[in-house]
Amino acid sequence: MAKPNAAAVAEQLRELALRMELAGGNPYRAKAHNRAAENLLLSQVPIERLTEEGRLQDIPGIGEALAAVITEIYNTGRYRGLDALREKAPEGLLELLRLPGIKPDRIRKLHAELGISSLEGLERAAREGRLKAVKGFGPAFEAKVLQAIDMSRRPQGRHLHRAAAAIEYASSEIKKLHPDWADVTPAGEFRRGCELISTLSLVVVDPRLQGASKTISQADQLAVHVTARDHYGVTLLLATGSEAHVDGLKTLAKKKGYKLDSRGLWKASRVVAALQKAGDVYCDPARRRKSTVLP
């Protein structure tokens, strides 16, 4: 049997956390499982090495008990405690637990008294005014449910403060695993200061890298853009700007007779400008003058 990867293990940890909440368990234990899942995905050490070398507890938030859970999932593909919890509640209730502001005890009560076990069923009951039939639930709660459902359908991600902690951990892991890499720099939505961060992004310089930059992705959680020193600036630009912003820059460059790509700003067949590192300008020696990104 093939061993599960880190993403598959993290998925079971997150389901376990949701089912703990649904069962009325300790909310701090549930949060600990979610944190362990997140940090496991951000670790730069492959899960097979972490488990086989007994290093799971090197990851922040993973103690002896959680390490045992992860090891069982990795070795067998499942966790007996999760199997037991799955028998107690239908899977559809997990979707309801992801609704912002709707507490687990409310979901349990709705399931017990109205048989609601899916997001569609909850929305239909709220719009039809049937939630008021449950003692303690009124029009204000129905409005709150509909608002939560609407919010759940918008783009999701980490809030900025959670992303800051996650990106700090990911950066420290990269520095430990690749001590020769330099200028580990946050990029993407985090660098733009977005309130919700869907994917963490970092730019790093590999002094031994020759040629084009490369991107290493981890389960849609972290994108590491590895670049050479003289491509650092343009890599940071492209990894940080939104798709619309980068497309706009490329269009502007084309209108001015240039081309902007992952190697820098081109005029004809040579690079005429590229940021070497933050605050520096990398110039075409043949022109002997400083140049902005878009002259």
pLDDT tens sequence across 198-216: 889 999 999 998 877 888 8
Amino acid found at 94: L
Q: Give the Cα separation of 75 and 180 in Å (integer).
A: 33
- Exposed, middle or buried by CB within 10 Å (0-12, 13-18, 19+), for 173? buried
Q: Residue 280: pLDDT above 50?
A: no
The per-residue pLDDT for 112 is 92
CA-closest candidate to residue 262, choices 244, 235, 283:
235
Q: Quick check: 90 pLDDT over 50?
A: yes
Cα-Cα-Cα-Cα torsion 162, 167, 168, 170, nearest 10 degrees, comes to: 130
Asked if residue 70 lies in contact with residue 40, where contact means CB atoms within 8 angstroms, the answer is yes
Mean pLDDT across 45-53: 93
| Beta bridge pairs of residue 215 | 225
Average pLDDT value for residue range 143-163 = 87
243, pLDDT greater than 70: yes
| Structure tokens, 270 | 């040579």
User: From the CA atom positions of the chain, what is the Rg in Å?
Assistant: 24
Distance between CA 282 and CA 240 in Å, rounded? 19
Provide the percentage of residues in the chain whose pLDDT is more than 90: 68
pLDDT of residue 287: 38
Residue 276 has a pLDDT of: 53
Helix, strand, coil proportions of the chain in percent (round to 5)? 50, 15, 35
pLDDT value, residue 225 = 94
**pLDDT digit string, tens, across residues 157-184:** 888 888 999 999 999 999 998 999 999 9
**Residue 128, φ and ψ in degrees, nearest 5:** -85, 0
Domains and CATH numbers, the chain: 6-86 (1.10.150.110), 99-152 (no CATH), 157-295 (3.30.460.10)
pTM of the model: 0.74
pLDDT at 239: 93
Burial of 119 (0-12, 13-18, 19+ CB in 10 A): middle
Expressed in angstroms, the distance from the first to the final Cα of the chain is: 58
- Which amino acid does the sequence have at 230? D
What are the tens digits of pLDDT across the range 262-273?
Answer: 888 888 888 776
| 295 pLDDT above the threshold of 60 | no
Token duo for residue 20: 């703990």
The pLDDT of residue 219: 63
pLDDT digits (tens, 9 = 90+) for 12-35: 999 999 999 999 988 899 999 999
Structure letter (DSSP) for residue 14: H
Give me the pLDDT at residue 272, please. Answer: 76
